[in-house]
């Protein structure tokens, strides 16, 4: 049920593959090594409508389903995973606004988000709060028609070149449990008190701005409280992270596929002991394991996306997909490097980039250790006696 593509999906994926081959693949290695931001690629993505891929057509987007969304991420990541990050957290924010925002908020933000004129991100993580979201220390205090925000956010994708963020802050610091005091705000650059701190120098995921955001007595209009409802921010973001985990799983499938395809090509060209190394059983076993696990990861990802398309909760399925696909990506990129030997370790080939990008999927959108807890909690609820 996951591989029967519609004519529209076929056309979209053909367009994305051509885009990756023409615009991304030729420049990815040089830009990634230099940690250069892909401004020209972003402009092309705007023209293609990718910033609005899941935003409904009534608000100027493409209105694509999440299965097609996952396929798009997979294809982009075969070329350069960092590029997918530009629209990844943007799409999470768009989802939060569309799903939980008021009609006025939807009309005000979604058309501009769809065009890429407003570039979104998720301001969630803090220096002392990552997986433990309830431990955030950023506060939002009501003052007449505004909220005054103070705090620091860390590891924020699109932090420098994005301009609009879904930000979590505590509106009630005494709430028990703490998550009931967390609210979600739409914050925009341009007013005093909102500054971008340092850019973070990363192992992989390079060429993409990942920054620190600092809020010092930053005023945000009360009309920017998502849904105009305090205390609902935790549930808003947790729902949005289902989308995030689908796109992380799809990224992992894309990177793993690129590494596998590089390895199987190389194995047919490299000679050792008088024959191509693909004729040695040890290499064949590696290739068989890699391909099988990638396909399993892809199907888990499509299954989670399909459930999201049906309007159902998919935190269990998205967690499983993200967990399995990211671990497979880490394993496959390492195995592909082993097949390449020394050539896989040098920057002349993209394989070392795939290997450096893989850990991001393991720790991003909730570490895999957290994913296991989410999965177990859902399983215990499903099989409750």
List the catalytic residues: 365
Rg (CA), the chain: 21
Give the whole-angstrom CA distance, residue 131 versus residue 231. Answer: 19
Question: If we measure between CA atoms, which residue out of 166, 160, 178, 175 comes closest to residue 220?
Answer: 166
Contact call for residues 99 and 89 (beta carbons, < 8 A): no
What is the Cα 196 distance to its own chain's centre? 21
CA distance 162 to 183: 21
Question: How many residues in the chain?
Answer: 385
Tell how strand 210-221 and strand 271-272 pair up. Answer: unpaired
Exposure string over 116-129, b if 16+ CB within 10 A, otherwise e:
bebbbbbbbbbeeb
How many angstroms separate the Cα of 269 from the Cα of each of 66, 201, 314, 340?
Answer: 38, 36, 43, 11
8 A C-beta contact, residue 286 and residue 363 = no
Burial of 302 (0-12, 13-18, 19+ CB in 10 A): buried
């Amino acid at each position: 049920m996951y591989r029967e593509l519609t004519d529209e999906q076929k056309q979209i994926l053909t367009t994305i593959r051509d885009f990756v081959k023409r615009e991304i693949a030729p420049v990815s290695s040089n830009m990634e090594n230099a940690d250069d931001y892909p401004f020209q690629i972003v402009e092309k993505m705007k023209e293609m409508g990718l910033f609005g891929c899941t935003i409904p057509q009534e608000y100027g987007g493409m209105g694509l389903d999440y299965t097609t969304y996952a396929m798009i991420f997979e294809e982009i990541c075969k070329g350069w995973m960092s590029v997918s990050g530009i629209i990844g957290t943007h799409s999470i924010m768009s989802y939060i606004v569309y799903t939980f925002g008021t009609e006025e908020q939807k009309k005000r933000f979604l058309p501009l988000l769809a065009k890429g004129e407003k570039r979104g991100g998720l301001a969630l993580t803090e220096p002392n709060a990552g997986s433990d979201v309830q431990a955030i220390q950023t506060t939002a205090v009501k003052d007449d028609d505004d909220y005054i925000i103070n705090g620091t956010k860390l590891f924020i994708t699109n932090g420098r070149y994005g301009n609009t963020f879904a930000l979590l802050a505590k509106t009630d610091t005494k709430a028990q449990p703490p998550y009931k005091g967390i609210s979600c705000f739409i914050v925009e650059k341009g007013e005093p008190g909102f500054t971008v701190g340092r850019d973070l120098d990363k192992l992989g995921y390079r060429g993409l701005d990942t920054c620190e955001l600092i809020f010092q007595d930053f005023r945000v209009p009360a009309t920017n409280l998502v849904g105009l409802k305090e205390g609902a921010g935790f549930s808003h973001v947790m729902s949005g992270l289902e989308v995030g985990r689908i796109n992380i799983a799809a990224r992992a499938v894309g990177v793993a596929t690129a590494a596998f395809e590089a390895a199987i090509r190389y194995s047919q060209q490299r000679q050792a002991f008088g024959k191509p190394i693909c004729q040695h059983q040890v290499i064949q076993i590696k290739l068989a394991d890699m391909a099988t696990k990638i396909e399993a990861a892809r199907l888990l990802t499509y299954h989670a996306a399909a459930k999201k398309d049906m309007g159902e909760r998919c935190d269990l399925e998205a967690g499983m997909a993200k967990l399995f696909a990211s671990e497979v990506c880490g394993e496959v990129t390492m195995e592909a490097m082993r097949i390449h030997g020394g050539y896989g370790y040098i920057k002349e080939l993209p394989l070392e980039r795939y290997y450096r990008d893989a850990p991001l999927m393991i720790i991003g959108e909730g570490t895999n250790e957290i994913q296991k807890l989410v999965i177990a909690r859902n399983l215990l609820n499903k099989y409750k006696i």
